[in-house]
Amino acid sequence: MHMAVAVAETSNHPLAQMSPEDRDFVVQFVLASGSLKEMARLHGVSYPTIRATLDRVIGKLQDRIQGVAPDPLTDFLAELVERGEIKPGVARNIRELHRKKLEDMK
């Protein structure tokens, strides 16, 4: 699938809107020729962990392309899951509770 992203200036480019860590991950991924096995080796993590990181980065990039505003809590929870500090179900529960509280405040 080919997708062209037209930008007026560099700061509007979806990659420029991502965190430095996520941009570094994209650069490393390209330099590793897209090999998740090599990325896992470079980062000293398991293949599923690096796959989860790639999925998160892809999701953020898709959001930036579609103009979706960043969600700092979701990003933080995803990073905790990637590092194995919390389980995915716990992250989902925290995010849903937070969203519910925000809606209740409206």
Residue ranges per structural domain of the chain: 14-70, 72-106
pLDDT at 98: 92
pLDDT at 15: 87
pLDDT at 8: 42
HSE-up (13 A, CA, CB side) for residue 62: 6
As a whole number of angstroms, the distance between CA 17 and CA 57 comes to 12
pLDDT at 10: 61
CATH of domain 14-70: 1.10.10
Separation in Å, CA 11 to CA 3, 14, 59, 105: 19, 8, 19, 34
**Helix (H, G, I), strand (E, B), or coil: what is residue 9?**
coil
Burial class for 36, CB neighbours closer than 10 Å (0-12, 13-18, 19+): middle
pLDDT in tens, the chain (106 residues): 444 444 445 678 888 888 888 999 999 999 999 999 999 999 998 998 899 889 989 988 998 899 888 788 988 898 888 888 998 889 999 999 998 998 898 8
